[in-house]
Structure 1
Amino acid sequence: MKQVTDKDVAIIILNWNAYDDTFECLKSLEHLTYPYFHVFLVDNASQDNSFDKLRQDYKDGKFNVPITFIQTGKNLGFAGGNNVAIKEAYKQGYEYFWMLNNDTVVDPNALTPLVETLEKDRQVGIVGSKIYYYGTNKIWFAGGKVNTWTGACAHIGFKEEDKGQYNQLKEVDYITGCSLCFRKEILETVGYMEEDYFLYYEETDWNLKSSNKGWKIVYIPNSVIYHKVSISSGGESNPSPYVAFYDIRNGHWMVKRTQKKYKWITSYLYRYYKALKKLIKMVVCNYDRKLIRIKLIVKALYE
C-alpha cells in the first residue's frame, strides 16, 4: 500500500455487467493531467465475467493507471457499491474522492479543476463536472436543481447544444453521481450515502444533507466528461420497468429525509401526478411489459 498524500484523489468506479464501458472509462483516465490519483474499481457481483476480465487486463498491463479491485459479492445498488470503495479509500487516508460512472469518458483536464476548487475554498464540500452526451456537444448536466416541495430534480442545460451558456462556475442544488468529487469531511459531518434507495436520488439526498450542514455544492464547467447515459437501465428511450419504481418512491423518501414535515404532503401528492405522467408515457411510447410497469408504479406509491 502506497503512502497517501493530501493531494491524492481516490477515483471510485462502480462496475456491473459492463466490461466494454468500464474498459473505455479506465483507458480515458490514463490521459488525466492531474497525476495524483488511485482508482478503486468496485464490482456489484457482475454476472458477465466483466470483473474478472478487467482484473486480468490489469495484470496483463493493459491499464496504465493504479487500480485496487474490490468485489462486493452481491448487487448492493449504486450507493451500496460506491460506499464499499469509499470506506476503503477513507481508511487508507484519502482527502478527496471522485465518484465517476463507469459509462463515462473523461477529458484529460477533468480532474484538475475539481481538486483546485476544493483546495481553494474549504467551505466547498462537493464539486462536479459539465457532462455531455457521449460523442456530442449536447449537454446532459450543467448543475442540478431540486424542488424541495415536490422532490422533482432537473439537470440545468439538459439536451441543449453547448454555446458557452453554462461556462460560469456556480453554486447549485446538487451534483450528479455521474461525476461527483468531494472532500473527506463530508463523510465526517454528513456520513455515507443512504443505501436503501438502491438506485436514484441517493446522491441528491446526500447533496441536500451536505448543504443543510453548511457545505457549498459547486458546478465546475471546465471539468468535462462524456456520458453514455443510462446504459445499465435501458437508456432514455426504453427505460427498464424498475426505473419508474425507484423514481417515484425515492423522490418522496428524499424529501422526507431532508426537508421539514410540511413539505412531505406536497411531495406525496406530487407522486400521484408523476405516476399518472409515467402511465400516459408508457402508452404513448408503447413501452413493453406494461403490466409489470403498472404493478411497480402502484408498489412505489404504496412504499
Structure 2
Amino acid sequence: MKQVTDKDVAIIILNWNAYNDTFECLKSLEHLTYPHFHVFLVDNASQDGSFDKLQQDYKDGKFHIPITFIQTGANLGFAGGNNVAIKQAYHQGYQYFWLLNNDTVVDPNALTPLVETLENDKQVGIVGSKIYYYGTNKIWFAGGKVNTWTGKTKHIGIKEEDVGQYDQLREVDYITGCSLGFRREILETVGYMCEDYFLYYEETDWNVRAKLYGWKIKYVPRSLVHHKVSASSGGEKNLSPIVAFYDIRNGYWFVKRTQENKLRIFTAFCYAYYKALKKVLKVFIMNQNRKRRRLVCIYQAVMSIWV
C-alpha cells in the first residue's frame, strides 16, 4: 500500500446495478489534471453482475487509475455505502475526500479547484462543483439552498442555460452528494452521514450540521461535473415510487434533527402533509404508472413521521 500524503484525495464512488454509468465515470477520472488521488469503488450488493465486471475490467487493464474495490454485502443506501469507503480511507490517513455519483462524468479540471479551495481556507469544510445536465450546458446545480422551516431544498440555477451567471465562488447552504468534497476534520467534528435516511437528505443534514459546527460550505464553479440526473431512481421524469416515501419522511426528519425550535419542527410536520397531498394529486392528474404502489409509499411516509 502506497504512503498517503497530505495532498492525496480519496475519490469515493457508489455503484448499484449500473455497469455502463460507473464504467464511464471511472474512465473520465483518467483525465483529471490533479494527480494525487485514489478511487474507492464501493458496491451495495448489485444484482446485475456490474461489480464483478468492473473488477475484471480493472484486472484486464481497462482502467489507468488506482482503484480499491469494496463490497458491502447489502444495499446500505447512499450514506451507508459511502460511509463504508469513507471510514476505510479515513483510517488510511486521507486528508481530503470527494464523493462522486457514479452517473457523472467529470471535466479534467474538476478536482483541482475543490482541493485548492479547501487548502486556501481552513474554515471551509465542504466544497462542491457546478453540475450540468449530462450532454448540455444547462445547470443542474450551482449551490444549494435549504429552508429549515419546511425542509424544502432548492438547487440554485436549476434548468438555466449557463452564461456565466453562477461563476462566483461563494458560500451556500449545502452541497449535493453528487459531487461533494470535504476535509478530514469534518468527520472528527460532525461525524459521518446518518445512514437511516437511506436515500435523500443525508448530505443536506450533514451540511447543515457542519455549519452548526462553524464550517463554511462553498460552491466552486471552476469544478465542472456532468450528471445523468436520477439515473439510479428511474430518471427525473419517472422517479421510482419509493422516492416519494423518502422525500416526505426525510424532509421532516431533517428539520426535526437539526433544529431545536419547536415551531420550525411543527411547520415541517405540516409541510410533510402538504407534500403528501401534492404527490397524491400528481399521481392522478399526471396519470402516473404504478398508482397503487405510489399511494402506498405516500401513506407509509405520512405514518412514519409520527414515529
> TM-score interval w.r.t. the shorter chain?
over 0.9
Deviations along 1:140-188, one digit per CA (max 9) or x if unpaired, are 0000000000000000001111011100011000000000000000000
Match status 1:276 vs 2:262: no
Q: Which amino acid aligns with 1:201?
A: Y
Alignment of structure 1 residues 1-303 onto 2, 5 Å: 1-260=1-260, 261-303=262-304
Q: Which amino acid aligns with 2:107?
A: D
Q: What 5-or-longer segments of structure 1 have no aligned partner? A: none
Deviations along 1:200-255, one digit per CA (max 9) or x if unpaired, are 00000000000000000000001000000101111111110000000000000000
SS in 2 for 1:175: coil
Deviations along 1:42-72, one digit per CA (max 9) or x if unpaired, are 0000000000000000000000000000000
2:143 and 2:278 map into 1 onto residues whose CA distance is 25
Q: Which amino acid aligns with 2:213?
A: K
1:137 and 1:198 map into 2 onto residues whose CA distance is 30
2:60 and 2:275 map into 1 onto residues whose CA distance is 49
1:238 and 1:32 map into 2 onto residues whose CA distance is 33
Identity %: 78
1:197 and 1:264 map into 2 onto residues whose CA distance is 17
SS in 2 for 1:93: coil
2:284 and 2:146 map into 1 onto residues whose CA distance is 28
Compare 110-119 and 269-278 and name the one that shifted more: 269-278
SS in 1 for 2:28: helix
Q: Which amino acid aligns with 1:52?
A: D
Q: Which amino acid aligns with 1:116?
A: E
1:101 and 1:286 map into 2 onto residues whose CA distance is 30
RMSD over aligned CA atoms reads: 0.5
SS in 1 for 2:162: coil
Measured after TM superposition, the shift of residue 286 of structure 1 is 1.4
2:195 and 2:135 map into 1 onto residues whose CA distance is 32
Q: What 5-or-longer segments of structure 2 have no aligned partner? A: none
Following TM superposition, where does structure 1 have runs of at least 4 consecutive aligned residues deviating by more than 2 angstroms? Answer: none
Aligned length: 303
SS in 2 for 1:236: coil
Q: TM-score, normalization: structure 2?
A: 0.98
Q: TM-score, normalization: structure 1?
A: 0.99
